[in-house]
Structure 1
């Protein structure tokens, strides 16, 4: 009860006998969620394009065959991976002053998080920025995009994709093996 004294007892009482089971202990208040909030404070995400609600689309994941019912995570082939059109990716490149525009970015928007790839057909720079969010990316169920606050329509960029040495070596090796 000591940890709840300041939160459940009037000033001047040194011991709390109320038995307040709804008040969280210090660990409950500052434990897991406190660490998450601390990490969020050091987030280096960059707000980049704001999407028009009419240009935010929700699409289903591509799944491997399964026995029905809830789809097991290992059967979701597009887990956490949506699309963004060329205009949106060009906007991101211009905002970051990149020499070329990325084909893959990681970020958050409208309760969703994950990776977005260049859309296979919507690549024009003259189109309005568009984004396709997969079911597996949608972490927080928000109202329809038209009803969202402006803050939910802005893409928070965690970073563009960068090719590391491992996939480059794998690709070079695979080319010689095949």
Structure 2
């Protein structure tokens, strides 16, 4: 605002103040929540472009393997009939891993039983895992891994020698 100069009438002061206000656009201070929608769209586009660049730069075998995992998760989500469709959430991923993945035979065991098992798995795109890995999902995976390790330690001959 302009300071009132001595010797100026109030009307002249008001006219000068309004003329100054018209010449200098006022930029209100924006809060973080008030970001322009165009700027928000730009940020989201750049994030998507970065993600797409990361996906495109993956090795071809990684892409093939992830496609199989994602396809299985999508089919399971559609079968379950979730309200949000096939959107991956932490809770949904936890349920999927707990009911569909935990307890499956590992690839090492399948190799011994099935001739050409690896080629069949790649061709059929079987097995499952998906992101996001929430805390609960990480806990589930680490618990299963700990149980498996404990079982292996109990059943291996080396563990029996350690107890002697």
Q: Tell me if both proteins adopt one fold, taking TM over 0.5 as the criterion.
A: no
More strand by share: 1
More helix by share: 2
State the TM-score bracket (shorter-chain normalisation): under 0.3
When Rg is computed on C-alpha atoms for both structures, the one with the higher figure is 2
